Chains A and B, each alone.
Chain A
Amino acid sequence: DQQVKQNSPSLSVQEGRISILNCDYTNSMFDYFLWYKKYPAEGPTFLISISSIKDKNEDGRFTVFLNKSAKHLSLHIVPSQPGDSAVYFCAASGETSGSRLTFGEGTQLTVNP
C-alpha cells in the first residue's frame, strides 16, 4: 500500500528554469509534509516542510505547495541550478502514523547547464 507516490521517476530541466516535482498521498490523516534531497552515497538532506494548516511555504529558491483537497503537494525550485541535480523524496507523517515518515519513491532531477 503505497500511501505516498511520486509518479515521475525522473525530470530534466535547463539551468535557470523552474523545476516542479510532484507528490500525491492517499492517507487523509497525514498533516505534515517534507521534502528531502539525496545525493548518491549520502543520506537524505532536509529541504523544506509544510503543515496542513498552510497551503504554501517558501524558503529561498524552494517553495512547497499543498493542495489538501487533491491530496497533492509540489516542490518548486527556481531558478534551477546544476547543483540541484539529485533524487528528491517527499515524505509525510500524521497522528495515526505516529512519528514515522512515509516516503515516496523519489524523483531524479537533472539540471542541465
Chain B
Amino acid sequence: NAGVMQNPRHLVRRRGQEARLRCSPMKGHSHVYWYRQLPEEGLKFMVYLQKENIIDESGMPKERFSAEFPKEGPSILRIQQVVRGDSAAYFCASSPRTAYSNQPQHFGDGTRLSIL
C-alpha cells in the first residue's frame, strides 16, 4: 500500500478528546476518500473530497465529524468529543480521477483509533 500515506497508524484518545487523522494521497491523485471499518465489518464510505472541496459527505455522521482537503497539505479527518463507538480503523483512499472513469481507488494502511 505504498503511496497513500496515513498517520498516525495508531491513535489512542480518551472520551471527550479530539482525534485528527491525516492522509496524503498518492502522487498525482487529487481525489481523496475516507472509509471506516468497524470490527468484523466491511469498509463503510464516509466522505469524498477534492482539493478544497467536499464532493460527497453522505456517509459522515451529522455531528462531531468533519473533513477537509486543503490546497496545501494532507487531507484531515477530524473527530471532536470522541466516544467509545468511534473506535475503528479509518482508511483513506485516493484516485487520479473519479470513479466515473472507472479508476480504482488505492488505499493507505489506515489509522487504528482506540477510545479509552
Chain A positions within 8 Å of B, measured between CB atoms, are: 4, 32, 34, 36, 41-46, 49, 51, 89, 91, 93, 95, 98-106
Contacts and interface: CB of A to CB of B under 8 A. Distances in A.
Contact of A43 (B44, B45, B59, B91): B91
A105 B38 CA distance: 11
B43 interface: yes
B42 A89 contact: yes
B43 A89 contact: yes
Contacts of B58: 98, 100
Given A99-B33, A99-B99, 19 more contacts: A4-B42, A32-B102, A42-B110, A43-B6, A43-B91, A43-B110, A45-B1, A89-B43, A95-B100, A98-B58, A99-B31, A99-B48, A99-B98, A101-B35, A101-B43, A101-B45, A101-B105, A103-B43, A105-B41
Interface residues of B, number: 32
Nearest to B104: A46
Contacts of A44: 43, 91, 107
B4 interface: yes
Contact of B33 (A34, A46, A100, A102): A100
A49 B41 CA distance: 22
Contacts of A103: 35, 42-44
Interface string B94-116: 01001110101111111010000
Interface in B2-39: 4, 6, 31, 33, 35
B103 to A, nearest CB: 9
Contacts of B52: none
Nearest to A48: B104
B99 A32 contact: yes
B55 interface: yes
A107 B58 CA distance: 26
5 contacts: A42-B109, A44-B43, A46-B104, A101-B43, A104-B42
A52 B41 CA distance: 26
